[in-house]
A and B are shown apart, each in its own frame.
Chain A
Amino acid sequence: MDKLSLLIWVPVITMIVMAFVNDSKVKWVGAIGAAVQLIQSVLLLFSFFAAREAGDTSEMLFTTDIVWYKYLNIHYATGVDGVSIALILLTSIIVFTGVFASWEIKDRTKEFFITLYMLATGVFGFFISLDLFTMFLFYELAVIPMYLLIGIWGTGPKEYSAMKLTLMLMGASAFLLVGILGIYFNSALDGGQLTFNFIEISKIDIPASAQYFFFPLTFIGFGVLGALYPFHTWSPDGHASAPTAVSMLHAGVLMKLGGYGALRIAVMLMPEGAHHYQWIFIILATIGAVYGAFGAIWQKDLKYINAYSSVSHLAFILFAALMFNQVAFEGAVLQMISHGLITALFFALIGMIYSRTKTRNINEMGGLMKVMPVLGVAYFIAGFASLGLPGFSAFVAEMTIFVGAFQNEQMFIRVATILVISSIVITAVYVLRAAGTMLMGAIKNKDFELLPDAHWYDKVAVFVLIAVIAGMGMFPNWLATMIYDGLGPMFERFVAN
């Protein structure tokens, strides 16, 4: 068993064990499984550094390549570089904290954790895949459990939200499927073997006419999952209805599949198509960033605020992916990680507050800081991180994106960049307004005075996330270098094509 396949097998084995223990022990099994996975990811990071130190300069490390279906040349091919390792690390941190954030699930506990782990399996599989077919397979595997997770364990109009989310994301995967098939059948025009391996495909030139047709399909296919305006509408409803851990995993990790795919597959494999349609998608991403921020201002429900804020921040990723320079690309990946951590922290806190106050409407709350100081302070930290205060991860990521974006000299892109930057100001408005109304002032509701502060399992989730966010904000260098180097080889071919 190679290192990377273990990343799939550990969640799978965890699921199997969960199926055979009784409900009260399931969450412990889940916690142990998540911890093992986290340790594994950290070890993977160290062995990655060790291999690089030792002078291994191959693009992907720890590769496995097994032929699966011969005729279509489908392989089970795995490998990681700096980018995917960073995202694997992010995923295992969020799964780990997600387990603790859903410690209080009582209804069908076993089924909940098994479904949650199925989602996680899909995400890990996606990030280690080098083969577009298995990538697509894992993508769908990660999306479909969302229906059950939101439908069964959600709140509010959960059936509607679950159906909307599933159909929109699967609809996106329909476009993606056509895009992938198109890439595949154009991957060997010089008479070689057709291939699904995206490293191989990045080395060849897909004919421009094909790129013009398949780039939009692929980019939109991934973009929907990355909350590309105007296809973001599933996201606020879905997040608002989803249970805590699912919101965390979904906004924190699953939506990054969209950004990762849009950057690595759509843009990197089809540079000409990307250049051709750049202006349309830049406009859409800019609208998304500004619109998401304004949307968040209007909301009173904490989850909706955060969901719209996610739409805004994810638009940064797609925006950066369209800037076509290595710094901006690096910023895109940094933003995936930073936003994943911050949004997961937000959703975890919102879930904890909601489970105590039974409301998410900020106008009904007030003075919560006096009742639950730990959660209150954590919420402020999350807010500051989200609006890009230096010292937290978002600052690093957004700064990198805008430095990269400004390297483009066209007026159009500069204006767009400035518009996107302006959304950060709006972020400050809604973050501070929500935190202020909810946490400061007098206690509005007498019943809230007796509410407990964070339990030990809440603290595990919150502290781990805060530590990582602050750590990334203060020592971004190793991560940034790792991602920058990881993007290097593909970027060189991107420019050359």
Chain B
Amino acid sequence: MDLSNIIIMRNELSLIVVVLLLLMAEIFSSKNARYMLLNVATGLFALHTILGFLPAETGELFGGMYRNTPLIILMKNILNIGVLVVLFQVQGWLKKPENNNRSLEFYLLTFSTLMGMSYMISAGDFLMLYLGLELATIPIATLAAYDVYRMKSTEAGIKLILLAALSSGIMLYGISLIYGTTGSLYFNEVMGNLQMNPLQILATVFFISGLAFKISLVPFHLWTADVYEGAPTNVTGYLSVISKGASVFVLITILFTVFKEMSDAWQPLLMVMAVVTMVVGNLFAIRQQNLQRFLAFSSIAQAGFILLGMISGTTYGMATVIYFILVYVFSNLAAFGVVSIVKNATGKDSIDDYNGFYSTNPMLSMVMLLALFSLAGIPPLAGFFGKFFLFAAVAEQGMYWLVLIAVINTIVSLYYYLLVVKAIFVVRVDNPIEPIKGELLARVGLVITVIGILVIGIYSPIFEWVQALSFGL
């Protein structure tokens, strides 16, 4: 086997190196050195993230099972940045006494799932895709159950692993049908052999269902709220942003390359799913009192918007999806950052607890305001641009009714985001949450996300860069 160009896998290789180093360090370090190791781990990952931005080689490996293109590198970089922000936010929680002994496990598990996602995105073959998917899923269930002594956390872990197993079973069935009808698992070979026959349509539907579970599209969303609520806050942030983002990346690459010929089959399917997802996510979000559940349903609704870009079926639509994920990473992580800082300090996470929050914590309140307004799509924040471009991609195809449904949904979403804004800014109470000073790194994380929210929209070269890469797919 020729391994001379294995450097194409640089992202995964450097991640493996980090994981192995940390594993060794954990075995050989004394108990007191563990604190230090947390910072070392974060530092190593920061290095890995920076490494991702250096010019990289593109190409294929292992006979086409693994491929790397500029667009794939961009996707991985987006995920890396998101994970870095999560790592910044997680410090306060990991340094709690009950997590002291096993805080490094968090890193190992997180990095393993991230590696799985990388393979998933880079896959050039359904087998590789499936392996990546499993590697990305199983450690997440462990992460969700990280607070083993808390019932809800354990419940979240179990729920996630059982339903994930079910959904990957369905997906595998779809993949086996594809193999049965085309005789190959390689994307390139499958692509030429799809003729829209009923079995292949069934295969497409099964395949999309498997990924829809991970993106929590309605009707595959039922696990989301419970898992998001039960899992530790930072894990929820990771699930809702990184895990979801990676699955969207995979879904869009596959739909736009392998299943391109089948677009007559998946386009109506996604249309229905997009509408239902937006409506259900929004309507349920209105009723939530727990912020983590609230963000769970809001992220379901956001997934509905993401589908719009895919429905358009154009490269421009693809660019808008990737751009929207980039925006979503920053906006959602900013919201989760604030929630996790507050929860670590006080244990409170219901919307009513946030009444009068501004009078004691003006800075955190401002971050929350920006995050929610960006999620709601208020200019001049990044979310506005993200949504506008998604809508434009759909309108370009003449599907104005879909745009109309989507914009009406953004108004519904604005309503519940404003409920949180109301609690924080408008309502006055005698005993609001006391002033909180988060960990230094957590605050750095918030600063990064705020810069992202403010800059990504207004500074147009970012979008144009994403777009240029999408045309190169």
- By a beta-carbon cutoff of 8 Å, the part of chain A in contact with chain B is 68-72, 133, 137-138, 140-141, 144, 147-148, 151-152, 158-159, 162-163, 166-167, 170-171, 174-175, 177-178, 181-182, 184-185, 213
Contacts and interface: CB of A to CB of B under 8 A. Distances in A.
A21 B460 CA distance: 32
B400 interface: yes
Interface stretch (B138-146, B293-301, B387-395): B387-395
B425 A148 contact: yes
B425 A163 contact: no
Interface in B414-438: 414-415, 418, 421-422, 425-426
B380 interface: yes
A151 B404 contact: no
B464 A70 contact: yes
Given A151-B425, A151-B426, A167-B415, A177 B378 contact: no
Contacts of A184: 392, 395
Contacts of A159: 422, 426
A181 B373 CA distance: 22
Contacts of B418: 147, 163, 166
Contacts of B398: 185
A458 B392 CA distance: 48
Given A141-B380, A144-B378, A147-B421, A177 B463 contact: no
Interface of B is mostly: helix
Nearest to A140: B379
B422 A151 contact: yes
Nearest to A152: B426
Contact of B316 (A71, A148, A170): A71
Interface size class of B (residues with CB under 8 A): 20 to 34
Contact of B407 (A69, A141, A174, A182): A174
Contacts of B404: 174-175, 178
B411 A167 contact: yes
B395 A181 contact: yes
3 A-B pairs with the lowest CB-CB distances in the bound complex, closest first: A174-B407, A181-B395, A151-B426
B467 interface: yes
A151 B414 CA distance: 15
A133 to B, nearest CB: 8
B41 to A, nearest CB: 37
Nearest to B379: A137
A178 B422 CA distance: 28
B249 interface: no
Interface string B120-162: 0000000000000000000000000000000000000000000
A171 B463 CA distance: 27
B50 interface: no
Contacts of B379: 137-138, 140-141
B110 interface: no
B414 A166 contact: yes
Given A182-B395, A185-B395, A69 B403 contact: no
Interface string B396-407: 101010011001
Contact of B411 (A68, A152, A170, A185): A170
A166 B422 CA distance: 12
17 contacts: A69-B464, A70-B464, A72-B392, A137-B379, A140-B384, A158-B426, A159-B422, A163-B415, A163-B418, A170-B411, A171-B411, A175-B404, A178-B407, A181-B391, A181-B395, A182-B400, A184-B392
Contact of B389 (A72, A141, A151): A72
B167 to A, nearest CB: 34
A216 to B, nearest CB: 12
Given A70-B464, A162-B426, 12 more contacts: A71-B464, A141-B379, A147-B418, A163-B415, A163-B422, A166-B418, A170-B414, A171-B408, A174-B408, A178-B407, A181-B403, A184-B392
A224 B97 CA distance: 56
Interface in B101-116: none
B204 interface: no
Contacts of B388: 133, 177
A15 to B, nearest CB: 13
Nearest to A69: B460
Contacts of A151: 422, 425-426
A163 B414 CA distance: 10
A184 B379 CA distance: 19
A217 B459 CA distance: 30
A68 B389 contact: no
B332 interface: no
A491 B214 CA distance: 55
A166 B412 CA distance: 11
B396 A185 contact: yes
A360 B233 CA distance: 48
Contacts of B378: 140-141, 144
B464 A174 contact: no
A141 B403 CA distance: 21
A21 to B, nearest CB: 16
Nearest to A143: B378
B410 interface: yes
Nearest to B419: A163
Contacts of B392: 72, 181, 184
Nearest to B397: A185
A69 B386 CA distance: 12
Contacts of B415: 163, 167
Contacts of B395: 178, 181-182, 184-185
B425 A213 contact: no
A162 B418 CA distance: 10
A312 to B, nearest CB: 27
Contact of B467 (A71, A175, A213): A71
A184 B400 CA distance: 12
Contacts of B421: 147-148
A138 B384 CA distance: 12
Interface in B443-473: 460, 463-464, 467
Nearest to B398: A185
A12 to B, nearest CB: 11
Contacts of B411: 167, 170-171, 174
Contacts of B426: 148, 151-152, 158-159, 162
A177 B391 contact: yes
Contacts of A182: 395, 400
A140 B376 CA distance: 12
Nearest to A154: B426
B200 to A, nearest CB: 33
Contacts of B373: 144
B397 to A, nearest CB: 9
Nearest to A166: B418
Contact of A137 (B380, B464, B467): B380
A149 B199 CA distance: 58
A70 B316 CA distance: 12
Contact of A68 (B384, B391, B407, B460): B460
A71 B425 CA distance: 38
B384 A137 contact: yes
A213 B401 CA distance: 11
Nearest to A214: B400
Contacts of B425: 148, 151-152
A222 to B, nearest CB: 15
A140 to B, nearest CB: 5
A174 B460 contact: no
Nearest to A133: B388
B288 to A, nearest CB: 17
A184 B391 CA distance: 12
A71 B464 CA distance: 8
